[in-house]
Amino acid sequence: MKIQVVVGSTRPARATLGVARWVAEQVGLQVPQAQVELVDLADYPMPFFNEPASPQFNPSRQPEPVVKAWLDKVAQADAYVLVTPEYNRSFPAVLKNALDFLDSQFAEKPVALVAHGSTGGAHAVVHLRSALAGVQAITMPVATYIVGMGGNLFARDGTPKADVQGIAKALARNVQSLVRFAVVQKQAD
Ligand SMILES: Cc1cc2nc3c(=O)[nH]c(=O)nc-3n(C[C@H](O)[C@H](O)[C@H](O)COP(=O)(O)O)c2cc1C
């Protein structure tokens, strides 16, 4: 099973990278049989969505190289963990843009959500659930809400700076759902 942990923000000083690194490590410990890969949106500097038609209804689309690289990368996974901060009561535009480029890559695949922010990224999660329905992904019923700024809790390399046992427990439940859904989907294939 391949699980990708997506870093949902790209600004140079972002805290989400540290959060996502810790999340990827936790997923690896919890699901040792899985291949866990960190996918950083900063490695895919895509333009704002600029295609002539909706990707899901454009079988002859010819995405430009950086977009194709993003699509090819995420197509490899069976399941995803999206790690996102909250920006102005939603999730970052760069993540929305990356989702807008998808055609079938996330379709009927499970996605776990991990958010951080002063209200635990709750608004980001609500908006992500909605956007992910648009690309036919299956979002896990319980998200992981990290109350506070991720940068206060995790160093850039993913090392916790505080007691994160409660977050680890919530994440474990989320990942357990993710694996269950991924197994069912793989059996159905
Ligand atoms: C443009 C912007 C808007 C923000 N809006 C919110 C918000 O609505 N709610 C919240 O809890 N935090 C908000 N924050 C705080 C971020 O969630 C927090 O700084 C987080 O670390 C940003 O993630 P990043 O470091 O990966 O960019 C905002 C930060 C930025 C930069």
pLDDT in tens, 33-52: 999 999 999 999 999 999 99
Q: How far is the centre of ligand 1, averaged over its atoms, from the C-alpha of 48 (Å)?
A: 21
Q: Is the CB of 86 under 6 A from ligand 1?
A: yes
Q: Is the CB of 122 under 6 A from ligand 1?
A: no
Tell me the per-residue pLDDT of 61-103, one tens digit each, with 9 for 90 and over. 999 999 999 999 999 999 999 999 999 999 999 999 999 999 9
What pLDDT is attached to residue 187? 87
Mean pLDDT of the chain: 97
Q: Is the CB of 149 under 6 A from ligand 1?
A: yes
What pLDDT is attached to residue 150? 80
What pLDDT is attached to residue 61? 97
Q: Is the CB of 89 under 6 A from ligand 1?
A: yes
What pLDDT is attached to residue 142? 97
- Under the banding of pLDDT at 50, 70 and 90, the label for residue 175 is very high
- Check pLDDT > 90 for residue 174: yes
Distance of CA 148 to the CA centre of its chain: 19
Cα→Cα distances 101→95, 105, 116, 140, Å: 10, 10, 24, 22
- For ligand 1, what atom is nearest to the CA of residue 120? 11
- For ligand 1, what atom is nearest to the CA of residue 7? 26
- Check pLDDT > 90 for residue 21: yes
Q: How far is the centre of ligand 1, averaged over its atoms, from the C-alpha of 147 (Å)?
A: 12
Q: What would the mean pLDDT of 7-22 be, rounded to a whole number?
A: 97
Pocket test residue of 88, 90, 116 for ligand 1, highest count of atoms within 8 A of CB: 88
d(CA 150, CA 137): 26
Q: Is the CB of 87 under 6 A from ligand 1?
A: yes
**In a 3-state reduction of DSSP, which class is residue 71?**
helix
- Under the banding of pLDDT at 50, 70 and 90, the label for residue 54 is very high
Cα→Cα distances 14→71, 85, 124, 186, Å: 23, 9, 16, 34
- For ligand 1, what atom is nearest to the CA of residue 88? 8
Tell me the per-residue pLDDT of 113-162, one tens digit each, with 9 for 90 and over. 999 999 999 999 999 999 999 999 999 999 999 998 888 999 999 999 99
Residue of the CA atom closest to atom 10 of ligand 1: 117
